[in-house]
Amino acid sequence: MKEIENAADVHELVHAFYGKVLQDDVLAPFFRGLNLAEHLPKMEFFWRFVLLDESGYTTSVTDKHMHMRLKAEHFQRWLSLFNETLDERFTGEKAEMARQRAALIGWTIQSKM
């Protein structure tokens, strides 16, 4: 277990998490046809913005998901896999921040749908 301290750690988190998502029966269908070569760097940028204070991220995460037909079960599964990934690989303040931010993001998007 290690702390999230740099871009390499965020890369590890994002790729490990999406590895789980792409194998998950509940969430994988939402990622079919998605260009992961474009998507994953955006997710890394977002989490560097959140966890490492990297500037420049301006995309509305909520707006990006409003067209999707997401239900409570999708949000619960997404958060469960995200937290599982954190628990397997990371510890410390930034891991806890990631956990809290993910919960807030899920709640926010779900409440606006």
Q: Where are the domains of the chain?
A: 7-112
39's CB contacts (< 8 A; 6+ apart) are: none
Superfamily designation of domain 7-112: Globins (1.10.490.10)
Residue 74 has pLDDT above 70, yes or no: yes
Per-residue model confidence (pLDDT) at position 67: 64
Per-residue model confidence (pLDDT) at position 51: 97
Q: Which range among 22-26, 47-51, 71-75, 82-86 shows the weakest confidence by mean pLDDT?
A: 71-75
pTM of the predicted model, to two decimals? Answer: 0.88
pLDDT tens digit sequence for 49-68? 999 999 988 777 766 666 67
Mean pLDDT (the chain) is: 90
